[in-house]
Structure formats: structure tokens, C-alpha cells
Amino acid sequence: MKDSERIVVTGLGAVAPTGYGVAENWDSVINGRSGIGPITLFDSTDNKVHIAGECHYDPTPGGFSERDAARYDRSVLHAVNAGLEAVRDSGIDFANRGDNHDVCIIMGSGIGGIDNIQKTCGVMFEKGPGRVTPFLVPSGTADVGAHTIAMRLGIHGFTCGVATACASGNDAISTAFLRLRGGFEQVAICGGSEAPVCKLSIATFANMKALSSWDGDGDPKRVSRPFDRNRSGFVISEGAGVIVLETLAHAKARGARIYCELGGVGQSTDAYHVTAPEPTGHFVSLAIRQALERAEVSPDTVDYVNAHGTSTHHNDLMETAAIKTVFGENAYKLWVSSTKSMTGHCVAGCGGIEAVFCVKAIETGIVPPTINYEEPDPECDLDYVPNKARERKIRAAISDTFGFGGHNAVLCFKRFE
């Protein structure tokens, strides 16, 4: 394959409940520290669920004044802060390389600015339509994270928002990968961001019975327990993960530091149910196979799976079945972990954040654990790296994300040779 068709990772950025920046987040997850706690962003007294994963940081490094930070939806603040960290990490000086028309920015957002929509509806119902802000649409629709990063950096290539529910982050990265491989651009800033910790979204997810109502014996950090027999639903959270991709030719020409290669992507749709996954995992298996085939990676050289692992019964069983289908006996040699046990479920943010974790696992040889794994589920019998990180040379890793509506998106990262 030509260097212009090989796609490498050169920059990482992350904002999550487990920390601000990649270094803090990585230190948290490899040491099993959860970012889940009581909700503080609003009064949750009337809600059925009172815990979430929240991000607390000063957004000014992303170029937001106090006034701007109040106007934009939090999903945009997260996207821009993670995006600018990834760009700094890549070492690309966009300010001094022309009009940057060969750079695309693709960001996923499953829900968009739901908190701003909720607040604006409150103003309209209480004070009338004349008091509604004209900034509602440009404050947090699915494309705002991408074009706000573009404005900060002077990027004039293609920018786009991708909305495929919880698969949005991986689908954004997949879209960027395919554009670079197709020769449309040479550099991509891509990932996912979400800020669903608000009264409205927690109410609808809770009434859907998707969120855990178990109090973890009073400890919110114990509630998210993927693949554990006593799991009872996921914990909603917020955050963003962004990676910088380049063609190998472009990265070599500028002497870039290369983390790893994004070898292939896989995408499919269950077309089964509005929320539940297709139980056999057949179409998830298809997406995994596509990613491996496009990466030219054989199943027996994959060492790590960052699972979608939501801590719901339907997802955990389906994902386990799909992994077995693709990897056969080698499935029992894989290390599979769900970092959502610590970050919670960041919707579109998960794809970006978990892509960062896969890249760090390849770079460091450390695989983060699935915490709160106390009682094995007989139907989920793989090695889920329970409770403590492990060390292993990772030749290839895949990251799974699946969204309501049956969206399946899989990324395959591999060591750069």
C-alpha cells in the first residue's frame, strides 16, 4: 500500500470525567479510578437517577471567554478543548501552513446541544418566544464542534458533524479515515463529543430503563459494572476524545512522531430495533471483520478489544457473542475491557475517548481494566481484565461502538511498522 493511503495517528486529546487531558485520563483508567459521582450540574431531586460522569475544568484553554462558555453548549466546550490538545500533541502548526484546505475536521455528536435546547425551551415557556436566544442553533448542533475547531485553527477543508447515536465518534473517525485514504485531504482532526448530563436526557434514558438505578451500596463509583452478573444499566456521562490522523506520506514529510496506524474501519446497521441490539451480534461481527480485513490484520494478531461494554444485559451478551463469532478460540486469549466502568457512557464522546485509550494501550503496552467486576456472568465468559490493569505488547487493538437504532462502528489500530 502506498504511503499516501496508509493512515497514522499523530495527536491525541481527551476531556472526560476521569480527567482533563490525555495524561490525566490515562493515569486514571490504568489505575482503576472512576469519574462517576453525584450529579452537580443541576438539581436532580425530581429525577429517578442521581449519578453521572461530569467534567469539571476551566474551558479557557480552548479560547472560550466566560461569556462564550455560557453561550455554547458544553458538548462544544469539550470538543474544542480535546481538539486543540490533539493538535498541540501532533505538533502541526496550522497557523503557518497556508489555508489548510487539505485538512478535514469530522466530529460526532449523538444528541447535540440538548442542555441548551432544554434551557432555551424553559425561557420560551416562561418568558415567551421574544426572549429566545438567536444563538441556540449555532451553540450546539452536531456540526458546531467541528466548525468551532476550524475557526480556532484557520482550517478551510471539509468540516462535518456525524450523528449516529453512540456510534457517532467512531463513525466520525471512520469518515475521516476514508477521506484521507481516498485522497480528499492529508490531515484529519476527528472524534466525538457529548454533554448529555441534563435533566431532560437523564429523564428520558431513565424512563427507557437504560440507566442503572442501583446505588452501589451508596458508592456511585461502583455502579457501572460491564459484564458483571449484577450490572443494572449504564451511567450517563459527558466528555470528548479527538485524534489527529495523517497520511503516512504527510507525516513522514514533516518528521512527525507516530503513535500507531489506523489500519481499517468497519460499519454496519442491525436494522432490528429502535434501541435494542440484534441479539446474535451478526452485524457487529460483520463490522469487526470489515475493520480487520481493511487493516490486513488476522484475528489471531489482535491482542486487545476496547469493548462498547455499556453495563447493560443486552449489549454485554451481544458483544461477547460477536467477539466469539469473529475470533473463535482466539477470543479466549484476547484481553477485553470496558473503560466505561470508569468514564461512564459519554454517548458520541465514547468513540473518541476509547480510540485514545486504544492508541495509548499500543504505545505503552498497558491495558486498562474493567473495574467493579465482582461476580462473573456465565453468559459472558471472556477475559475482561478484571479490576487491575495488565501489561502486554499490543500488536493490534479494536474499538467497538454501537448506537441506538443499530449503528455499529469498529476501528482497528495496529503497531506502526
Kindly report the CATH number assigned to the domain that includes residue 404. 3.40.47.10
Residues tagged active-site: 166, 308, 345
Predicted local confidence at residue 129, as pLDDT: 95
Q: Do 243 and 284 lie in a common domain? A: no
Strand pairing of 304-306 and 260-269?
unpaired
Final residue before a domain boundary, out of 185, 218, 253? 253
Q: Do 145 and 61 lie in a common domain? A: yes
Q: Do 291 and 244 lie in a common domain? A: no
Q: Do 173 and 276 lie in a common domain? A: no
**Cα distance between residue 322 and residue 324, in whole Å:** 5
Q: Do 119 and 56 lie in a common domain? A: yes
- Asked if residue 1 is part of any domain, the answer here is no
Q: Do 105 and 76 lie in a common domain? A: yes
Please give the residue range of the domain that contains residue 329.
264-414
Beta carbons within 8 Å of 8's beta carbon, 6+ residues apart: 245, 246, 247, 248, 251, 256, 258, 259, 260, 261, 262, 416
Q: Could you report how far apart the first and last alpha carbons of the chain are, in Å?
A: 13
- Asked if residue 198 is part of any domain, the answer here is yes
Q: Do 166 and 116 lie in a common domain? A: yes
Q: Do 227 and 282 lie in a common domain? A: no
Reported as a single tens digit per residue, the pLDDT across 75-127 is 999 999 999 999 999 999 999 999 999 999 999 999 999 999 999 999 999 99
Q: Do 162 and 239 lie in a common domain? A: yes
Predicted local confidence at residue 216, as pLDDT: 66
Final residue before a domain boundary, out of 224, 253, 282? 253
Q: Do 167 and 38 lie in a common domain? A: yes
170 near 410, Cβ under 8 Å?
A: yes
Cell numbers that stand for 369 in this block: 481494566
Final residue before a domain boundary, out of 190, 224, 253? 253
Cell numbers that stand for 69 in this block: 462558555
Count of domains forming the chain: 2
Residue position matching grid coordinates 490525555:
22
Nearest-CA neighbor of 210 among 136, 311, 65?
Answer: 311
Which residue numbers in the chain have pLDDT < 50? Answer: none
CB atoms within 10 A of CB 139: 24
- Asked if residue 259 is part of any domain, the answer here is no
- Asked if residue 2 is part of any domain, the answer here is no
Predicted local confidence at residue 218, as pLDDT: 82
- Asked if residue 258 is part of any domain, the answer here is no
237 near 53, Cβ under 8 Å?
A: yes
Q: Do 202 and 289 lie in a common domain? A: no
Predicted local confidence at residue 236, as pLDDT: 97
- Asked if residue 72 is part of any domain, the answer here is yes
Predicted local confidence at residue 213, as pLDDT: 77
Q: Do 219 and 139 lie in a common domain? A: yes
